């Protein structure tokens, strides 16, 4: 067994086993998902984080590229009770350190009690506790990654389903999962994917039916350009957002966001619709939340902690969700969100005013 070490912000150094060599630093978070490890590891929202799996065995159904949400692994490192050879080989090929054979229950309990924390990892033949501590000493908080969008967004605009007959969506890519685009294309939408720092002029040149702000990593206040777009087009073009997109839109309209203690990450987060009373299970991955929705109405809340899960405004033509309705990985309870986005664009309540 080749040892590995995880240095925690608390001062502890935990010994583990190397599954993919290397050194890494990042915010230590956990997911409760027991399936969907490929989707989680390729989710851009995990950029600059170290992902701990609370489920004890990760990799029991192999690794298949068609389940990836992006073109690479985004967490800086992966931690599990046990990783299969398939996942270990994949992460080694990706150059992403991975460790197992440690008590992940203890790590998860520590995160729940203390909150997400900085960590450093050293894995491989040269790994030492001192090396892990050295990584920890250089670790930044998530709010300090002021241009994290550049690490996860497309470099240039491109179009999906250009010959589609559906609504025209301008998607601001702040770290969008591939299944968001797929969900829109399945509804025959024409989707123009724009970089995270797209300008208002670029959006106007497209003349979209709806402006869509995607999910993404880190502090929503660091996505300055996306905030500016939401403020510019509110009341002019219907808008939708998922995860970070909800936070960006709310913040741009005068609301406020805040960092959560350990966030929501998993595939079994219960969400209640305040109008119908219906509860659905959702996939989530976020460390920030909307604390003040500003002019938007809260339409859905998390059953566990009452944080806003859905925001809407009929007057402004806005609909957002904090969870991931594209449901990769996770249950399909909330896929109808994309039908609502299409209907919002087709009805164009903003133009009707």
Q: Which residues are catalytic?
A: 243, 324, 326
CA-wise closest residue to 317 among 290, 351, 281, 277:
351
C-beta of residue 50 within 8 angstroms of C-beta of residue 121: yes
Compute, in degrees rounded to 10, the torsion defined by CA atoms 159, 161, 167, 173. -40
Q: How far apart are CA 351 and CA 353, in angstroms?
A: 5
CA-wise closest residue to 264 among 239, 248, 247, 278:
247
H/E element, 203: helix 200-206
Binding residues, by number, are 45, 216, 218, 244, 247, 285, 287-288
H/E element, 121: strand 117-123
C-beta of residue 211 within 8 angstroms of C-beta of residue 173: no
Residue that has been written with the tokens 């912000």 in this structure: 9
Return the half-sphere exposure (C-beta side, CA atoms, 13 A cut-off) of residue 131. 16
Compute, in degrees rounded to 10, the torsion defined by CA atoms 239, 245, 250, 254. -100
Binding residues for L-glutamine, by number, are 45, 216, 218, 244, 247, 285, 287-288
């Amino acid at each position: 067994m080749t040892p590995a070490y995880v240095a925690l912000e608390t001062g502890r150094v935990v010994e583990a086993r190397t599954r993919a060599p290397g050194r890494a630093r990042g915010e230590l978070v956990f997911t409760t998902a027991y399936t969907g490890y490929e989707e989680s590891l390729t989710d851009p929202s995990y950029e600059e984080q170290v992902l701990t799996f609370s489920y004890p065995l990760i990799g029991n159904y192999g690794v298949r590229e068609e389940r990836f949400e992006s073109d690479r692994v985004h967490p800086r490192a992966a931690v599990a009770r046990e990783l299969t050879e398939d996942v270990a080989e994949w992460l080694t090929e990706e150059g992403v350190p991975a460790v197992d054979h440690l008590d992940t229950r203890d790590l998860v309990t520590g995160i729940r009690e203390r909150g997400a924390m900085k960590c450093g990892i050293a894995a491989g033949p040269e790994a030492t506790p001192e090396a892990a501590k050295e990584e920890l000493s250089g670790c930044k908080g998530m709010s300090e990654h002021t241009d994290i969008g550049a690490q996860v967004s497309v470099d240039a605009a491109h179009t999906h389903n250009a010959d589609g007959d559906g609504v025209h969506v301008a998607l601001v890519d702040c770290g969008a999962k591939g299944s968001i685009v797929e969900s829109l294309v399945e509804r025959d939408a024409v989707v123009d994917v724009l970089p995270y720092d797209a300008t208002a002029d670029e959006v106007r040149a497209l003349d979209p039916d709806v402006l869509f702000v995607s999910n993404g990593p880190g502090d929503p206040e660091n996505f300055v350009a996306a905030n500016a777009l939401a403020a510019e087009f509110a009341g002019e073009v219907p808008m939708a957002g998922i995860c970070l997109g909800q936070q960006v839109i709310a913040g741009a309209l005068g609301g406020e966001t805040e960092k959560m203690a350990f966030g929501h990450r998993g595939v079994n987060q219960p969400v209640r619709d305040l109008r119908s009373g219906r509860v659905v299970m959702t996939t989530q991955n976020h460390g920030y939340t909307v604390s003040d929705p500003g002019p938007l109405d809260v339409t859905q809340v998390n059953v566990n902690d009452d944080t806003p899960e859905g925001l809407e405004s009929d007057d402004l033509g806005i609909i957002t969700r904090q969870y991931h309705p594209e449901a990769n990985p996770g249950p399909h309870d909330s896929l109808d969100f994309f039908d609502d986005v299409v209907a919002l664009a087709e009805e164009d309540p903003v133009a009707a005013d």
